[in-house]
Amino acid sequence: MSDSILEVRDLTVTLRHRGASGRRLLDAIDFSVAAGEFVGLSGPSGSGKSTLALALLGLIDDGKQASVSGSIELNGGQLLGQPAAQRDGRCIAGIFQDPVAALNPVRTVGSQLREVAQRHLPRGSRQSQVQSALSSLQLPDALLQRYPFQLSGGQCQRIAICMAMVISPAVLIADEPTSALDTLSQQAVMQALDVLRQQGSAIVLISHDRRLIGRWCDRSMVMDAGRLTVNQAVSEGELPGGPKYRKPAASDGNSPVLRCHGVVARHRANGSSKGNRGSAALAGITFELSAGETLAVVGPSGCGKSTLARVLVGLHPASGGRIQWGGALERPSRRQRARMAQLVFQNPALSLSPTKTVMKLIAEPMLLHTTVSRSQVKDEVAKWLARVGLSTELFDRYPHQLSGGQQQRIAIARAICLEPRVLIADEPVAALDDDTRQAALRLLAQIQVQHRMALILISHDLSSVTKVSDRVLVMDAGRVVELGETAGVLAAPSHPLTQALLAADCG
């Protein structure tokens, strides 16, 4: 197009292996983006979407590990071959798929925001720009004093988005900016991005949520195996909701595998290693879970969902209340707890050891906690990989060599290979494309039926909640504000927060 601000021509990225050319990660990519245009980019996990984002941002080293060729022009100037460190960050900015890894863990988020403003904005406008970005993303000033590990995944995501918004870049590459957010926060983020678009910034939204693309974007591009296969206008709400994956109800519903009564936990205060200091994170959580049952946990970002998950598996101390496993066991040993409950973390990249291959990552828990021998483990790993839709070709790969969706499926396989009585899944399908998401939900439902496994599904995706859960628990500010059968709660929500989440999801 004649008024394009970004022109990409014949962009090719080839992975090198021991000095020789290997697999093409991007294959002759061509597209243009105009100033003020909102473009969506979707495609299967591993199709090259994040690689394209890294290439546009100048974060792929054209050297021993990969070769980059083609052309990337911004306002007529060639960017390809210009290192990211030498670029003006206001030209092309990025919001990364992994918000926690994008933030410095030893600095407060406020200091990181101020650094961005100091580097790119004149002194007189810094404070107003930061405050405007915080307000548009519904972020309170109190969060500026915290470190990334003290925030929820959704809050970290919004801080990362805020950093990009502060500088009003010519082009913003947003890689899954809403995957960790509840529906209300998603709506706030998309409205904020749309304000940037109205101010003249071009937005490239990378997302597995094609409904989101249909609702907000002017044009949709689809990638597959490193190639652009579709580049066309989109219409709002063009995707169906997909099938439901309901399973038979638990027959032994009167025999809970987990009882929580009045569970209390606190955020760790700065510099404290104890859980009984700092502000309240959970304030009297009470519920029961039966074998084979799926309990969905929903609520705004920062309401305590992930803290509840960490308390249940012993990664965060409870400062009050009672947690009973299997009817009576209150203080399981580490080994007992591993077979009782497993957690799939919200951030798969940080939950997988970067120094271990896929083979070792999945083999390790089986060798520690099951009777599988070393001679059998390779076949067992292959079986569990197949169950999450991955092949044995990934055996020798490390986490950084996988896409976000592949990392998430490895994390799921690593957890379910122990066949725990309770699987706690914290946003387990947020990083997956629609087809893989449906396959993963179907897999979880099948495993529940086969192994009488209970599932606690923490999710911002209300369509997933509708498809798989028996009951839904709604949290706000560390408390349970609504609990009941999924169909009843979603059809006639009684609490204003539940009503607002549903209204935002319906758009």
Q: Which residues pair with 424 in a beta bridge?
A: 343, 456
CA–CA distance, 502 with 438 (Å, rounded to integer): 21
Please, what's the b/e burial string for 7-30 (b: 16 or more CB within 10 A of its CB; e: otherwise)? Answer: bbeebbbbeeeeeeeeebbbbebe
* Sign (positive or negative) of CA dihedral 99, 164, 77, 28: positive
Q: What is the pTM of this model?
A: 0.62
At 355 the pLDDT is: 92
Write the single-letter amino acid at 44. Answer: P
At 197 the pLDDT is: 85
At 358 the pLDDT is: 92
pLDDT tens digit sequence for 66-123: 888 888 888 888 888 776 655 655 588 888 877 777 788 889 988 888 888 888 888 8
At 264 the pLDDT is: 92
- DSSP letter for each residue of 441-503: HHHHHHHHHHHT-EEEEE-S-HHHHHHH-SEEEEEETTEEEEEEEHHHHHHS--SHHHHHHHH
Q: Which of 172, 178, 173, 184 is nearest to 158 (CA)?
A: 178
| Residues in the chain, pLDDT under 50 | 1-2, 20, 236-253, 271-273, 275-276
Q: H or E stretch including 287? A: strand 280-290
At 251 the pLDDT is: 43
Contacts with 346 (C-beta within 8 Å, 6 or more apart), sequence order: 153, 180, 306, 426, 427, 430, 458
Please state whether beta strands 454-458 and 422-426 pair in parallel, antiparallel, or not at all (unpaired): parallel
CA–CA distance, 470 with 288 (Å, rounded to integer): 13
Strand 256-266: give its sheet, edge to edge.
280-290, 256-266, 320-325
CA–CA distance, 29 with 13 (Å, rounded to integer): 10
CA–CA distance, 17 with 499 (Å, rounded to integer): 53
What six digits make up the tokens of 94? 């990025």
CA–CA distance, 262 with 320 (Å, rounded to integer): 7
3-state helix, strand, coil in the chain (%, to 5): 35, 25, 35
CA–CA distance, 108 with 118 (Å, rounded to integer): 16
At 83 the pLDDT is: 64
455, 425 contact by CB (below 8 A): yes
User: What is the DSSP secondary structure assignment for residue 293, as one 8-state letter?
Assistant: -
CA–CA distance, 138 with 190 (Å, rounded to integer): 12
Write the single-letter amino acid at 114. Answer: R
The structural architecture, per CATH, of the domain 4-233 is: 3-Layer(aba) Sandwich (3.40)
CA–CA distance, 72 with 68 (Å, rounded to integer): 11
Q: Which of 403, 38, 16 is nearest to 217 (CA)?
A: 38
Cα atoms in the 13 Å half-sphere on the side-chain side of 74 = 19
CA–CA distance, 362 with 364 (Å, rounded to integer): 6
Q: Which of 103, 13, 9 is nearest to 60 (CA)?
A: 13
Domain with CATH 3.40.50.300 in the chain: 4-233, 256-505
Please state whether beta strands 320-325 and 256-266 pair in parallel, antiparallel, or not at all (unpaired): antiparallel
At 507 the pLDDT is: 54
User: What is the DSSP secondary structure assignment for residue 62, as one 8-state letter?
Assistant: B
At 243 the pLDDT is: 43
Write the single-letter amino acid at 228. Answer: L
Q: Which CATH superfamily is domain 256-505 in?
A: P-loop containing nucleotide triphosphate hydrolases (3.40.50.300)
